[in-house]
Amino acid sequence: MTLPRFYPIFDDVAWLRRMLPLGVKLVQMRLKEKSQDALRMQLTQARDLCAAHGAVLVVNDHWQLAIELGCDWVHLGQEDLDEADVDAIRAAGLRLGVSTHDTDELTRALALNPDYVALGPIYPTLLKKMKWHQQGIEKLSPWKDRLGNIPLVAIGGMNTARAALAFEAGADVVSAVTDITLHDDPEGRVRAWLEVCG
């Protein structure tokens, strides 16, 4: 499977209205601390916007809603895997992305036959306090060796300058969050990302 090489993550559907028209073709909605009604509204709109723009929508964590709303992808962290019904996700036809930080987690992820595996944080990240220290760009190569044809996503502290290093080290996809959302010109930054990622 070939995924688009640029993978931004957003926390509100308003970002999709701004960024999808620029040519973003793979996007994750990471919605935290919202009511069930707000989640359903945001994900419904995100699903429809992505469909209209020919983009892949990945739903972070909320796998039940992803099934209910007929979404195509779900992303689960290691803690999410403890709670999620992976069989139900697969039975609904959803594709699955999984976060990993160490070799035990990678082994666990591979047992699920994932559709991509994310490794991070590659660099220190502003997004959230993490128990994991930065993984380093050099860790991507052994991860890719184990993954074979499964796409590898590099995430955490990524920017346009670091993207080329990640691709050289074996990443198939590079994900960005605050490099876009905290930028003075988010649209301009996304255009730069699309250029770097080809």
| Residue 30 annotated among the catalytic residues of the structure | yes
| Residue 99 annotated among the catalytic residues of the structure | yes
Considering only CA atoms, which of 103, 100, 114 is closest in space to residue 156?
100
| Residue 18 annotated among the catalytic residues of the structure | no
Query: CB-side exposure of 185: number of CA atoms within 13 Å?
Result: 5
Considering only CA atoms, which of 76, 75, 68 is closest in space to residue 26?
75
Find the catalytic residue in 99, 144, 162, 175. 99
Q: Which residues contact 87 (CB under 8 A, 6 or more apart)?
A: none
Find the catalytic residue in 32, 128, 129, 131. 128
Q: Per-residue DSSP letters for 102-139?
A: SHHHHHHHHHT--SEEEE--SS--SSS--SSPP--GGG
Find the catalytic residue in 18, 30, 108, 146. 30
Q: Per-residue DSSP letters for 50-111?
A: HHHHT-EEEEES-HHHHHHTT-SEEEE-HHHHHH--HHHHHHTT-EEEEEESSHHHHHHHHH
Q: What are phi and psi of 95, to 5 degrees?
A: -85, 155
Catalytic residues: 30, 99, 128
